Amino acid sequence: MEAANRGASAAGGKSIGLSISLPMEQKTNPYVPEELAFEFHYFFMRKLWFVYLAKAVIIFPGGFGTLDEAFEALTLVQTDKIRERMPILFYGEDYWKDILHFDALALGNDLARGY
């Protein structure tokens, strides 16, 4: 997220920082203005606001936290908890093909919906 905040700052824009209060978690990066830095106690609230405010989600290769956030976004869209159409893009095709089998997930979703 720091890269996105840094890019917005370099372009003269502002961006929001949504962090989680954990003892081992890093603090908000220096590219987020103090008035736009929000800290959450619960993961689910952070993820809800993360997706609720978004116009699109781009997911870069990462670890378990990235997967958690990606599936939360996909679930909120799938269950119509997000009112507007919101594209979700996965960057790094080779990485994601090694991690997830999207075709099986999509097929399972279609079967569950009766398509």
State pLDDT tens for residues 86-105. Answer: 899 999 999 998 888 877 77
> What band does 4 get if pLDDT is binned at 50, 70 and 90?
confident
Q: Tell me the angle at which helices 64-78 and 43-52 cross, rounded to the nearest 10 degrees.
A: 60
Q: Would you give the DSSP letter of residue 1?
A: -
State the pLDDT at residue 59: 93
With 0-12 / 13-18 / 19 or more C-beta atoms within 10 angstroms meaning exposed / middle / buried, residue 77 is middle
Percent of the chain with pLDDT over 90: 37
* pTM of the predicted structure, to 2 decimals: 0.73
Mean pLDDT (the chain, rounded): 85
Phi, psi of 88 (to 5 degrees): -120, 115
State the pLDDT at residue 76: 85
State the pLDDT at residue 47: 87
pLDDT at 72 over 60: yes
Please give the biggest Cα pair distance in the chain.
48
Give me the mean pLDDT over the 61-83 stretch. 88
Domains along the chain with CATH numbers: 1-41 (no CATH), 42-115 (3.40.50.450)
- The better pLDDT of the pair 105, 4 is held by 4
> What band does 114 get if pLDDT is binned at 50, 70 and 90?
very low
Q: Hey, which bits of 2-114 come out as E strands?
A: 17-20, 37-40, 57-59, 88-90
